[in-house]
Amino acid sequence: MKKKEFHSFLKEFRFNDKSIATKCEELVIGSNKFPVFVNEFWTSQQRQANSIHEVSYRACFKPQLPRFFIQLFTKEDDVVYDPFNGRGTTVVEAALIKRNVIANDVNPLSLIFTRPRISIPSIKEIEKRLSEIRFTKNGKADIDLSMFYEKNTLAEIVSLRHYLKERLLEKKEDDIDRWIRMVATNRLTGHSKGFFSVYTLPPNQAMSAERQMKVNATCNQKPEYRDVKKLILRKSKALMRDVKAGENNNIYTQYLNCDAAETKEIKAGSVSLTVTSPPFLDVVQYAADNWLRCWFNDIDMKRVEQNITMSKTVEDWSKKMQVVFKELYRITALNGVVAFEVGEVRNGKIKLEEAVVPLGLNAGFDCEAVIINAQEFTKTANIWGVNNNSSGTNSNRIVLFRKIK
């Protein structure tokens, strides 16, 4: 879709019969003006997306966001890429509609959550593998986790952790093992009996042991036994409700665990579309939130934290993102597109789109538009400082770039 055609599409867009007209504004940066389009371009309702997306991860956007751009700017067999892959929303959604995918993230947890949901085993294979894993009753963790788990549950978790570690070290880990690892990692802690733990924070965060002990005392609760194999199988069936095993077997996949500014493994000019959401300043403590998941997967949390971009100022963040943009320009195909989601930082007080547009231009891209997806359009009194809801987070802000030379 060419630039003028794209702009016309956005102006005339209606999500449904009740939608109102797109609001058109301008973003002025220096002597340059860039079009801004505000409307409800996609729904935020998670349950309307494919069931395979229903895993929790901090600061991830809804699947409807990448699908909007994938359908507009790519066709089957084109390559869709996410340099800050997170839980894999972009590439999983792209795989569902037969695009080739490349996923990259410095956090190894990202690929643990992504790869299994593209290379999907069958329920029978998962059930058979779980029956073959030997769970011992005397398994003990190398750290105190008694505030989260009943002793027999913990023994099962430790047994599974040991099995997965051995499979990886022996280079025997396959798609079935990776699926079990992914689901178990997702089920470690949560706020219902569908998780291995006692009642705690939602699964995209993990309380410290000290805080969990306080919660247990306040709620007058103690960990109860959870059947680890049973819960893994139950969650597997829920995730696979809308997909079939092996349905993505014919697409090309590439998984990288490196700095987004240094992706030498990706061929120049090979990516048709990038849809991504980078780490925003110091807003989200990815490693701290995932300490228990890191333990289960034998990942060095401190090393992960050092590698994740967590800047305190826009200036420092921009310097790091500039190098990323130069790399994105290298790998993007001619007429390829980058949809860069900048969110709302600190309740709209920091407008990252104003920093991002110059970064893309400096790298060689053309900036086609800023797109703001606002769920309740009438409440958006000021699109550059959205103040709807308590935390100002019910809209997405995407800067769209194209490589034209």
Q: Are 51 and 242 in contact (CB under 8 A)?
A: yes
Q: How many Å apart are CA 306 and CA 67, to the nearest integer? A: 32
DSSP 313-327: SHHHHHHHHHHHHHH
Does position 285 have pLDDT exceeding 70, yes or no? no
Q: Which residue's entry shows tokens 């570690």?
A: 165
DSSP 105-167: -SSHHHHHHHGGGTS---HHHHHHHHHHSPPPTT---SS--TTTS-HHHHHHHHHHHHHHHHH
Does position 194 have pLDDT exceeding 80, yes or no? yes
- Candidate ranges 138-147, 152-161, 336-345; pick with highest mean pLDDT: 152-161
What's the mean per-residue pLDDT of the chain? 89
Does position 389 have pLDDT exceeding 60, yes or no? no
pLDDT at 283: 57
Q: Which residue's entry shows tokens 């991830």?
A: 60
pLDDT at 382: 44
Does position 386 have pLDDT exceeding 60, yes or no? no
Q: How many Å apart are CA 6 and CA 108, to the nearest integer? A: 36
pLDDT at 268: 98
pLDDT at 384: 41
- Measured in whole angstroms, how far is the alpha carbon of residue 18 from the centre of its chain? 30
Of the listed ranges 32-41, 56-65, 76-85, 218-227, the least confidently predicted one is: 56-65
Burial label, 230 (beta-carbon count in 10 A; 0-12, 13-18, 19+): exposed
Q: Which residue's entry shows tokens 């247990």?
A: 216
Average pLDDT over residues 397-405: 96
Of the listed ranges 109-118, 183-192, 217-226, 299-308, the least confidently predicted one is: 299-308
Of 357, 401, 351, nearest to 32 (Cα)?
A: 357
Q: How many residues does the chain have?
A: 405
Burial label, 7 (beta-carbon count in 10 A; 0-12, 13-18, 19+): middle
Strand extents, DSSP E, 237-328: 253-256, 271-276
Dump pLDDT digits (tens) for 46-70.
Answer: 557 899 999 988 767 889 999 999 9
What sign results for the dihedral spanned by CA atoms 329, 331, 334, 335?
negative
Does position 376 have pLDDT exceeding 70, yes or no? no
What's 190's DSSP letter?
Answer: B
Does position 385 have pLDDT exceeding 80, yes or no? no
Where does CATH 3.40.50.150 sit in the chain? 3-107+260-283+313-402
pLDDT at 203: 74
What sign results for the dihedral spanned by CA atoms 264, 319, 30, 353?
positive
Does position 182 have pLDDT exceeding 90, yes or no? yes
Dump pLDDT digits (tens) for 312-356.
Answer: 788 999 999 999 999 999 999 999 999 999 876 655 667 789 999
Task: Centre a 10 Å sphere on the Cβ of residue 383 and count the other Cβ atoms it contains.
Answer: 19
Does position 390 have pLDDT exceeding 60, yes or no? no
pLDDT at 349: 65
pLDDT at 375: 66
Reading across the β-sheet that carries 23-29, which strands appear in turn? 23-29, 32-39, 366-374, 395-402, 332-341, 271-276, 79-82, 100-104, 253-256
| Stated pTM of the model | 0.91
Angle, vertex CA 233, rays to CA 229 and CA 234, nearest 5 = 115
Q: How many Å apart are CA 217 and CA 345, to the nearest integer? A: 35
Burial label, 170 (beta-carbon count in 10 A; 0-12, 13-18, 19+): exposed
Does position 256 have pLDDT exceeding 90, yes or no? yes
Dump pLDDT digits (tens) for 321-332.
Answer: 999 999 999 999
Domain 3-107+260-283+313-402 falls under CATH 3.40.50.150:
yes
Amino acid at position 405, single letter: K
Residue 179 neighbours by CB under 8 Å, 6+ apart: 116, 120, 121, 126, 236
Q: What band does 383 get if pLDDT is binned at 50, 70 and 90?
A: very low
Q: Are 402 and 335 in contact (CB under 8 A)?
A: yes
What percentage of the chain exceeds 70 in pLDDT?
90
Q: What band does 247 get if pLDDT is binned at 50, 70 and 90?
A: confident
Does position 374 have pLDDT exceeding 90, yes or no? no
pLDDT at 352: 86
Q: How many Å apart are CA 54 and CA 239, to the nearest integer? A: 6
Q: Are 1 and 273 in contact (CB under 8 A)?
A: no
What percentage of the chain exceeds 90 in pLDDT?
73
DSSP 3-state of 47? helix
DSSP 3-state of 374? strand
Does position 231 have pLDDT exceeding 60, yes or no? yes
Does position 387 have pLDDT exceeding 70, yes or no? no
Q: What band does 388 get if pLDDT is binned at 50, 70 and 90?
A: very low
Average pLDDT over residues 396-404: 95
Of 325, 317, 307, 316, nearest to 280 (Cα)?
A: 317
Amino acid at position 64, single letter: Q
DSSP 3-state of 92? helix
Does position 171 have pLDDT exceeding 70, yes or no? yes
Which of residues 203 and 223 earns the better pLDDT score? 223
Q: What band does 113 get if pLDDT is binned at 50, 70 and 90?
A: very high
Report, in angstroms and rounded to the nearest whole number, the Rg of the chain calculated over CA atoms.
22
What's 27's DSSP letter?
Answer: E
Dump pLDDT digits (tens) for 71-94.
Answer: 999 999 999 999 999 999 999 999
